[in-house]
C-alpha cells in the first residue's frame, strides 16, 4: 500500500491467484479482519506480488 502496509493471504492454485491479482489491480483491495471492512482503491496499491506462478514469459530487471 502507499502507506507501507502489506496485506497477505493465500489462495489455492495458480488460476485463483491470477484471478485475485487481476481483480486487485482493477478494482482495488478489500480488507476484512473480521471486525472492520476496508476498501483501498487501486491507485493506492503500489505492487501486487505472488509466488510460485509458472509462466512462459520470464523477464529480468535491468538497472534501477
17-47 pLDDT, tens per residue? 999 999 999 999 999 989 999 999 999 999 8
**pLDDT tens by residue, 15-25:** 999 999 999 99
* pLDDT recorded at residue 64: 76
- 33 burial via Cβ count (<10 Å: 0-12, 13-18, 19+): exposed
Please, are residues 12 and 50 in contact by the beta-carbon 8 Å criterion? Answer: no
> Could you tell me the three cell numbers for 28?
482495488
What does pTM read for this prediction?
0.75
* pLDDT recorded at residue 23: 94
* pLDDT recorded at residue 59: 83
* pLDDT recorded at residue 35: 94
Amino acid at each position: 500500500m502507499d502507506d507501507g502496509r502489506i496485506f497477505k493471504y493465500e489462495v489455492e492454485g495458480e488460476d485463483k491467484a491470477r484471478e485475485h491479482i487481476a481483480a486487485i489491480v482493477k478494482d482495488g483491495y478489500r480488507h476484512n479482519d473480521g471486525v472492520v471492512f476496508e476498501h483501498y482503491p487501486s491507485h493506492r496499491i503500489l505492487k501486487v506480488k505472488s509466488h510460485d506462478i509458472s509462466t512462459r514469459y520470464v523477464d529480468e530487471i535491468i538497472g534501477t
